Amino acid sequence: MRLDKYLSSVTRLSRSQAQKAIRAGRVQVDGEAEKNTSRSVVPETRVILDGNETGQPGPRYFMLHKPQGYVCSTGDPQHPTALDLLDEVITDDLHFAGRLDIDATGLVLVTSDGQWSHRIVAPGRKCRKCYRVSLADPLTDLDAEKLRQGVLLRNEPQPTQSAELEILAERNCLLTISEGRYHQVKRMFAAVGNRVVGLHRVSIGNLELDENLAPGAYRRLSLQEVEVVT
């Protein structure tokens, strides 16, 4: 990986700030001053910025636009994992703050901070997740109302908690839930006899998927985004 990219992945510097820091002589690589921004580094390379070691990154937070075909797990023998989309030097400390099915798309949060992800996924925190849903059959007003009030999922004794549902078109809606049961959205629509054919997560808590991120792209969260998510 290039030095400028490495530096921005292990510090809070943007890529262009990292380039400026390197050109300004603020960076040492393996004990020597280095001004070449494209110099190649590996995880073992010792990189020092302003006299400080950069090998031990602090907690890291990313938003990713997950495309179809990727699983949100840290290791899967059969499918590529969404972590493969992150061009980071160190990924073994990263995990997902909430999963998306292999065929679903949209906002996925990835972090090395277990306390932060706990705030997002812990059932008691009731973090809101909004999904754009495409359906096989038209959604009736009656079914929409049932989904808002709570439906019984197959093999579960408790109905779902109240949800927000906005009908966008005959077969399209926005659904906001504050639980995270297994395949919840698909099972909610199955409970009213419909079928999800497209599922895209638009937001988690107060964070919306950045519209500048194409499927497969990701970026770091700003400090403010990290703080406001829940």
By the rule CB under 6 A, 120 interacts with ligand URA: no
Do residues 131 and 174 touch, judged by C-beta distance below 8 A? yes
By the rule CB under 6 A, 199 interacts with ligand URA: yes
By the rule CB under 6 A, 195 interacts with ligand URA: no
Radius of gyration of the chain (CA): 21
Task: Return d(Cα 125, Cα 122) in angstroms, integer.
Answer: 6
Residue type present at position 1: M
Of residues 79 and 183, the one with the C-beta less far from ligand URA: 183
Selected range binding ligand URA among 16-24, 96-104, 162-170, 221-229, rule: CB under 6 A: 96-104
Task: Return d(Cα 88, Cα 203) in angstroms, integer.
Answer: 24
Q: Which of 183, 206, 217, 227 binds ligand URA (CB under 6 A)?
A: 183
Of residues 3 and 175, the one with the C-beta less far from ligand URA: 175
Of residues 185 and 221, the one with the C-beta less far from ligand URA: 185
Phi-psi region of 120 (alpha: psi -120 to 50; beta: other; left: phi over 0): alpha
Which residues in the 12-71 window bind ligand URA by CB under 6 A?
none
The tokens describing 56, both together, are 């031990």
Residue type present at position 39: R
CA distances from 71 to 113, 133, 159, 174 (A): 20, 19, 27, 23
Catalytic one of 76, 101, 113, 137: 101
Q: Could you tell me how many residues of this chain bind ligand URA (CB under 6 A)?
A: 8
The yes-or-no answer on residue 50 being catalytic is no
Q: Which of 186, 191, 200, 205 binds ligand URA (CB under 6 A)?
A: 186
Residues in contact with ligand URA by CB under 6 A are 100-101, 104, 183-186, 199
Residues with catalytic roles: 101
